[in-house]
Each structure stands twice: as C-alpha cells, then as structure tokens.
Structure 1
Amino acid sequence: MENTTGINRARFLAGAAGLGAAALLPAGRAEGTARKPGLERHGVVYTVGAGETPGTAWSAARMRGDIRAIRDDLHADTVDVTGDGVERLTATAAEVAERGLHVWLQPTLGDVPRRDILDHLAETGRFAERLRRQGASVELSVGCEFWLFVPGIVPGDTALERIENLMKGAYDPVRMQRELDRFTARAAEVGRSVFHGRLSYAAAQDDKVDWNLFDVVGIDYYSYFPQRRDYVRELRQYLRWGKPVAVTEFGCCTFVGAPEAGGMGWDIVDYDKDPPEIKGNVVRSERTQARHLTQLLDVFESMGLYAAMAFEFLTADAPHRPDDPRHDLDMASYGIVKAIKDHPDDPRSDWHWEPKEAFHALAQRYGRCGQRQ
C-alpha cells in the first residue's frame, strides 16, 4: 500500500508546547525507578517517504548506503524506520536487521481512511514479527502523533489543516481526546494481533495516552529550556508509568534560535514562493544544532532513559545552498546530514549528502557508548 499524499514529516512537525493543544499525561502508577544512568539504545530516525520529486524518491541503493553509514560512521545501534509504503518500510527494516542493528519499525501512513492506516500497520507489523522470529532485534511502534496524521480526530483533511485548526482553537477538545483514545486503542489491538514483541507508540509531548496499552512509553520531544534541571523535571513525568521511556524524536533545525523553535523550526520557509525561500534574516548554524542534540543526550543519559532517536538522518527535499542563504532550505531541516544537488537550479539534478556538525557530534558520542557496552 503506497501513500500518495506526499506528507513531508519535517514540514508538519508541531510541538505540543507550540500548539498548547492537549492536556498533560494523566496521573498513573507511582513514579517508576529509572535504570542506572546511560541510554540502552542510541539511534536515529530514518524516513522512507516517497519524496517530493523523482530525484528524491526512495531508492533501495541509496537506502543501503545510508544504513551502512548509520552503522559504520554514525555508530548508532538503533534505526527508527518510519514513513509510509509497506515495501519501503520492510525493505529498510530488513537491511537494518541484516546490518546487526536494532529495528524500531514505525509505519506512519496519513491522510487516508482509518481502515487503510490500520491495514498498513497490520501488514508492516506482520513483517516485523517475521524478523523477530528470525532472531532480529526489533520493536514495533503503532504510529506517530495520531491527531496529526489520522483524519477525524482533529478537523481538517490534511495534516497542515489539522495543525491550523489546533492553533486557531477550531476543535472540540473533548471529542478530540475521545477519538484519539479510540484510535490509539484500536491501533494497539491491531499491533498486538500481528506482533508479539515489545509495542510502543510515538506521542506528542503533552498527549494524554493510556500507556497501559504499550510496553514502552514513546515521546517525540522538542522542548527547550535554558536550564538542564527543567528538562529533567519535564521528562520525569513519563517515568510514572513504571515502563521504559524512549525519546522517539529529538533535535532541532540548523539555524541560530532553532532549539527555541522546537517542533516548529520548519516554519522559517515561505512555501508560497517559487522557489521556496527562507523568511527573515535567519543565520545558519550547524554548531547550534550539534550542541542542542548533545545537551539533550546528556539529559537522557543522566536519567537512565531506555532509548533516544535523533530526528532525523536526512531531509532530501530540503537541499543545502551554501552560496545562496535565501534558498538554503537545509536550515529548516532537522537532518543531521545535508542534501546537496550537483546542479542546484535543475530540479532533475542528482544529489548526494554530506555530514553536518551534528552527525560528527553524535558519532563521537555514540561511538563512546558502543565501546562501554
């Protein structure tokens, strides 16, 4: 099943702090005791979407090279394989497993009928179970921020329309929570029916989720605080369920002030222009991105969280233009590598990626963690 909607995940990230749209997690069990300091899994999100142009469409050959780089150069031990299209997801998950890495498989088909989303989950989950039975290290996430991707929870036919309605307050919070609970429970049921390993879900930070449905608490985390203790205070609430906590996304874009922008960092681009261009006087800063990622890792490790997956490896549709800051769309990318076209003004041009400072910073950290294990 292929998704023809062309959702670009990086363009539609919406931190709950920015939207103020959902209630805090409910009080659950007594606060759980964290593991000893140090993450068990250090990973990166790898998106397998269709791409916005033929040149950026998913490629099995590119994917294999990327996974090799994630293992050998980034030194990650976990890959969050996410996006839509069962063939793309399963081929990538199989490659990750073949390379001896932990597979965190998360289908995110969106903007189609709910039945299609659940069928897509079931087919992906069946493949995850086959990998697990063959001895691969694999976990299944039933999806990501359902209020964003699944029609009927928040008004709007597309993810962007749903974000706009949330920001305008054009929704019924009681109905939203009821529909979110209903679909989340159904997705968990479908996931359990086809997959017998550990199950999770990637929630927005302030989503109200019944984590009794899952084995691992998964959070897409885009907060910014000047003080480290405030991150600890905020993240501690997720330990109350007494379950492993995985940060299923964390990171920021590539400009001065990006950590403060959090999940709305992509909004520095004016997509009404042709070609799209950066709004205002944004200053590129790979160092800002690298520093924020490593500072968050320090927090996660100090709390003994289970896993952390940096968002994301690559945003192919946001190419870097080193000599043209106004059109350097990579500034609005969460990618830890930058896409560079061989011929920037040719939409049919081939392209390659190069590591950013964030890639090198994570590689150094992940490599040290691997040596300790």
Structure 2
Amino acid sequence: MKGERWRHLRNKLSPLFTSGKLKNMFQTLNECGTEMVEVLSEAAQKCSVIEFREACALYTTEVIGSLAFGVKLNCQRNPDCDFRRWARALFRPQPPQIERVLMETFAPHIWKLLTYKAGRRDIFKFFDDMAKETLQQRLKSGTKRNDFMDLFTQLHTKGSVDGEKNGGEGWKLTEDEVAAQAFLFYTAGFETSSTTMSFATYELAVNPDIQEQAQNEIDSVLAESGAVTYDALSKMKYLDKVLAETLRKYPPLATINRETLRPYRLPSADGSGDTAVILDRGIIVVIPVHSIHHDPVHYPNPERFDPERFSDDAKASRHPFVYLPFGEGPRFCIGMRLGLLQAKLGLVHLLSNYTVDVSSETDIPLVLDPHTPVLSAQNGIRLCISKRKPPRTVQ
C-alpha cells in the first residue's frame, strides 16, 4: 500500500504491537517455547546433531501461526502438518528467484501481468481460507484467545481496538483485509525470526564463552523471578546485545527499498553541503543493509561476533542509521517488538536447558545462500545439542 491508505492502515495496526498487547499474548508464546524444549529433549539426551534452522522454524511457525491465525498448530510435534507443509512451499526458492525479486521490486506492474504467481495461488488460498474461517468462528462464538486474531476481529467489527484510538475511525477492515494482514504477519515474522534465532545459536556454539555468559545471565534472572515472564526477559540485557549483534552480522534482509516522494538532492558524504546529484520523484532507492553492517568504518573487524558492540557507549558513538535490521523511518518494521520477543524467548528456553556446540557437520564459516530473499545458510546450521549440567527446569 502507498499514500493515505497505507497511513490509515498503519495507524490502525500499530496499537496491536504495544508492550501491553504483547504482554497479554506472552502466555501463548511461552507455551510454544516450553514445547520446543520438550521436543528437543530426546536429541539432547543423545547429544545429537540437529538442523537448528528447521528447529527454530518450527518454533516460530507455532508462535506466529498461533497468534496471527488464532489456532493451535502442533507443528513442533508434527513437522509435516498442513500449515508447515504449505509454509515450506511458500518460502521454497523458485527459480529464477533473484530475477523474480528484482522484477517485483523495480517493475511491479509488469510483474503482476506475468505468471510468477501462478504456481503459488494454491498456497495463498490455504492461508486465506484459514484466516477467514477463524475470523468467522470468532464472530459466531465470541471466543477470545489474547492473540492478533482477537484484535483483527475488533478492527473488522468496530474499526478500532479496545482502549486505543486509531487513525481512520469508521474504516473497518474487510474480511479480505483481515486475511491479508494475518498472512503478512506470518510471512514477515516467521522466516526472519527463525533465521535470526538459528544464526544466534550458531554464533553461541562457535563462541562458547559468549554462550556461557548468556546462560549465566539467564540463570541469574530466572532464579530471581522463579519463572520465564515478560518482565524477566526485559532484564536480560546481555541477551539483548547477543540478538543485536546477530542482526548486525546477519540482517534478515540484505537490502531494503524506499521510493522518493519528491525530488531529493543528495548531501555530500562529509556533511559539508549538497552534491549535484538529484533523485527524481518515484526513484527506487536500494539501501545495502548487509554491506553497511559489515563496513569496518562503523564496525571494526566486522566478521568477529562481539555483543559488546551494542553496549550503551558503543551505540552512542555510532550514527543510528548504520544499524538497520528493521529498516528506519515511517515504514520501519511494525512487528519489531514481536520479532525480538519471540527470538529472545526461544533462546531463553533453549539456553536455560541445553548447550549447543559445533560438530563435524557444522560449516565454519557459514556459507550464505545467494538465492533466497531472506538471509539463510546454504547448507543449514547443524549443531550438537546436549543437556546442561546441572539441568534446569523452566516453567
């Protein structure tokens, strides 16, 4: 969407991601984390090597699917369930992937006229039908689950969320718009968070001293709180740094795009004035996030994994726009809080119970896949998982 219609929808959806709303959903997220620990227990008992990208994908699929579509999926125990099967098909690279992404970005009107979507219509229909079916069930039964579908239902029936003032009052989301937003929440939140979690576990396995420091912080906070809670997670500052450094080194989207709304004269690099270069209205600007994140001017020795790059002092010394995993400006990622929360919660459950180590099957360094729109490891992330000594039980 563009223009005022996008602005109105953004205003309506922004209240869905407040800390209060996410706190209400925390129990559902926490249950998914607990289930992940249970599912991985057999592999940990045997000190097995597992594919962490898939394990993390099952967890985030359960979280986002449950919150956005409002149903218990059980995909962590049943990886071949319909929802996960269609999700795999959705994110499976389709040749020519790079050409498709470029055409969708720079020539969207031509792309829509071509047949790139033809083989994916059945995928879209599956998610569309699921969202609409859940919406109708909520409307008929009045059932509430403290999830996004509850909030979508309010936007559908009233045009606003209880206790919030939204822009564009009087405009209610249609059934198609509810289904579209549920689908978008899933596609934007599942793959990005699962890859971030899997890259984080990889770096913790490669850097056991960092893993130990993260585990010690988790142990200390959970000993004080007695359980994994929303407030307990907010106290785990070192784990925040670990996630931030993961997103620095492995930004889910290697580039982000913006379109100029008016002519813009580029300033000089040294800030001394303007250049002669003018971007006309309607120009697509591609910002190379991955390259900026690996620029040694901003991040010395950029291939080294160092969470202390995100200490308060270190962050204050850098320009804020050299860190862009969620974009920036009015169109920054609306689901940033949820993405960070589910990744952090998953790591807390994982690290409080298990230790991850590299194995003979681990690629060091990782080889990144050049054919996927979301940054991922070409050969997966295969790590050894084992129970911690002494083991912890997290409620």
Q: TM-score range by the shorter chain?
A: under 0.3
More strand by share: 1
Who wins on radius of gyration, i.e. which is larger?
A: 2
More helix by share: 2
Q: Which one has more relative contact order, counting CA pairs under 8 Å at least 6 apart? A: 2
Normalising by structure 1, report the TM-score. 0.24
Normalising by structure 2, report the TM-score. 0.23
